[in-house]
Chain A
């Protein structure tokens, strides 16, 4: 458990119901200050709902939220002064000009980094005099991102920040996030389906499935612990491997077995080598592979 000064966000036992339908089912999260925290999960897992509750856009049904050491419900306005948020769906007045939106936001925040906003507009090719309604989907996403980084936030909440972006723009966004924002020790909590990008920038990752966090770990630890072992045997393969410690799944690949192992690779290989003519190969997994395993399996405890 981190102390208040060490964590940017604390979510404990968070629940949310919409018309009797439970969307969040006891979410627990701790986001360390200065980290890039990726929230991953299949569609409908509750990622956007969690982000919106952290910002008090949605009212929690139950649970506790602390943001930057403050109560997330009672002091939400104070929190929003220090938080930048990019929504999944960009909602602006379509007849407003881009500069009008900037001007509104500049006057709402106590701090506004106009130099950064101007630089981002240059990089992303956002026309200040253009109408919001004339922007493409990708440009809308970029506008949302610029508005989120404009107030020099201590905490940046990004909900699908790569929606509609081409690879070049995606790279520019990653650069902005990693080099400028994360480099300045800001905390970034990002929900995205671009798992490869998340693997490159995130320090920690949480998987959400059906309204619960099923796994929350540093990315390096996760990639080091989650492996696959391909094993071939000259004799009959061992029985009941699913019960071995660390083994999460066993699949057949012709005469070989593909074993998904979590955390105890050495032990599993040691046990396998005790069988006649066993040949083992350890295969690294990407974050995407691990995500698909967890999301595909549905409910696995964290």
Chain B
């Protein structure tokens, strides 16, 4: 249900984000290698990858992704060709999800590549699990952003649509940054590291949310005028 040629085009169109991620990775490596103190273990669980992912998901989902569906985007051009709406939605979604997953799994990449020289506070499998849960929630937020973007794009009053979507986005950013502290940062005032100590409920909660938002987005795209 993903269109290969279209996927290739999307990759070319958004190649810059992969270059950005590579630069980010290199800067991260450099910073760890040159500025870290050997005696201190690395606390990747305390680095705000989840927050960065959330920002990226919201901006990407509500802005860059949905631009493809508006006038001036690719949708009219592609839909006049033998590509189904479902294929188009899945392809654009996948092209947005891949760089986000790369970002979310960056702590794992750091651990794998730097373990001979540094100590880390978490074993690899636990870090992998944490990244997986964070990635699942980031995909949920991406899908939420897409639905908001599609609502704003389809609304008859563009100004009203934008105002409402901006408000919703601002609220979401505030809520999820707070959630980041509660879920991922252990501390005396927080209920604990939910993602680490209760990984299955955290993952299980993300899946139906993602499924529901995916269905809503698909339904909107299937029925919308181009």
Is A3 an interface residue, CB under 8 A from the partner? Answer: no
Indicate whether A58 sits within 8 Å of B82 (C-beta atoms), given known contacts A87-B76, A91-B72, A91-B73. Answer: no
Bound-complex Cα distance A19 to B5 (A): 35
Q: B76 and A108: CB pair below 8 A?
A: no
A244 sits at the interface (CB 8 A):
no
Contact between B80 and A87 (Cβ–Cβ < 8 Å)?
yes
Of the candidates B5, B73, B74, the one whose C-beta lies within 8 Å of that of A107 is B5
Tell whether, in the assembled complex, residue B84 and residue A104 are in contact, meaning their CB atoms are under 8 Å apart.
Answer: no
Contact A104 B5 (CB under 8 A): yes
B83 in the interface (beta carbon within 8 A): yes
Known: A77-B84, A81-B82. A107 touches B4 (CB 8 A): yes
In the bound complex, do residue B81 and residue A58 qualify as a contact, i.e. CB atoms below 8 Å apart? no
Given A91-B76, A93-B13, A104-B9, check contact A80 B226 (CB 8 Å): no
Q: A59-B225, A91-B72 are in contact. Are A100 and B12 (CB under 8 A)?
A: yes
Taken residue by residue from 101 to 119, chain A's Cβ proximity to chain B (1 for < 8 Å, 0 otherwise) reads as 0011101111000000000
Q: Which of B4, B76, B77, B80 has the most CB of A within 10 A?
A: B80
**Within 8 Å CB of B84, what residues of A?**
77
Most chain B Cβ neighbours within 10 Å, of A19, A78, A95, A108 = A108
User: Is A108's CB under 8 angstroms from B83's CB?
Assistant: yes
Closest Cβ neighbor of A16 among chain B residues: B225
The answer on a CB contact under 8 Å between A93 and B74 is yes
Q: In the complex, what distance in Å separates the CA atom of A103 from the CA atom of B4? A: 12
CA distance A95 to B9 in the complex (A): 12
Q: Cβ of A57 < 8 Å from any Cβ of B?
A: yes
Q: Return A47 CB to nearest CB of chain B, in Å.
A: 16
Partner of B80, one of A19, A57, A96, A110: A57
Residue of B nearest to A53 (CB): B225
Dominant secondary structure of chain B at its interface with chain A = loop
Q: Does A55 contact B (CB under 8 A)?
A: yes
Is the beta-carbon distance between A105 and B79 smaller than 8 angstroms? no
Write out the residue numbers on chain B whose beta carbons fall within 8 Å of the beta carbon of A56.
79
Are A80 and B73 within 8 A (Cβ)? no
A157 to B, closest residue via Cβ: B80
A62 CB, min distance to chain B CBs, angstroms: 15
B128 within 8 A of A: no
Chain A positions 242-293 with a Cβ under 8 Å from a chain B Cβ = none
Task: Assess the B77–A91 pair: CB atoms within 8 A.
Answer: yes
Choice from B6, B71, B224 contacting A104 with Cβ under 8 Å: B6
**Is there an interface contact between A58 and B226, defined as CB atoms closer than 8 Å?**
yes
Given the contacts A57-B226, A58-B225, A104-B9, A80 and B81 also touching, CB distance less than 8 Å: yes
- In the complex, whether B198 has a CB less than 8 A from a CB of chain A is no
Nearest CB of A to B14, in Å: 11
**Residue A85 at the chain B interface, CB threshold 8 Å:** yes
- One of B3, B81, B225 near A109 (C-beta < 8 A): B81
How many whole Å from B7's CB to the nearest CB in chain A?
A: 11
- In the complex, the chain A residue whose C-beta lies closest to that of B83 is A108
- B223 interface residue per 8 A CB criterion: yes
CA A211 – CA B177 in complex, angstroms? 51
Contact of A55 among B5, B6, B80, B156 (CB under 8 A): B80
Query: In the complex the two chains form, is A19's CB within 8 Å of B76's CB?
Result: no
Contacts of B77 in A (CB 8 A): 87, 91-92
> CA A100 – CA B79 in complex, angstroms?
17
Which of B72, B83, B226 meets A77, CB within 8 Å?
B83
CB distance from B5 to the nearest CB of A (A): 4
Contacts of A81 on B, CB cut-off 8 Å?
A: 82
Q: Flag if A57 contacts B79 (CB, 8 Å).
A: yes
CB of B84 to closest CB in A, whole Å = 5
- Bound complex: CA of A57 vs CA of B222, how far in Å? 10
Q: Are B9 and A100 in contact (CB under 8 A)?
A: yes
A81-B83 Cα distance, complex, nearest whole Å? 9
Q: Which residues of B sit under 8 angstroms from A57, Cβ to Cβ?
A: 76, 79-80, 225-226
Question: Least Cβ distance of A248 to chain B in Å?
Answer: 37
A-B interface, 6 closest residue pairs, ranked by CB to CB distance from nearest: A107-B5, A81-B82, A85-B80, A80-B82, A57-B226, A58-B225
24 A-B contacts, Cβ less than 8 Å apart? A18-B225, A19-B156, A52-B226, A55-B79, A55-B80, A56-B79, A57-B225, A57-B226, A58-B225, A58-B226, A59-B224, A59-B225, A77-B83, A80-B81, A87-B76, A87-B77, A87-B80, A91-B72, A91-B77, A96-B9, A103-B5, A104-B5, A104-B9, A109-B82
Chain B residues near A (Cβ < 8 Å): 3-6, 9, 12-13, 71-74, 76-77, 79-84, 156, 223-226
Given A55-B80, A59-B223, 15 other A-B contacts at CB below 8 A? Answer: A56-B79, A78-B82, A80-B81, A80-B82, A91-B71, A91-B72, A91-B74, A91-B77, A93-B13, A95-B13, A96-B12, A104-B9, A108-B5, A108-B6, A109-B82
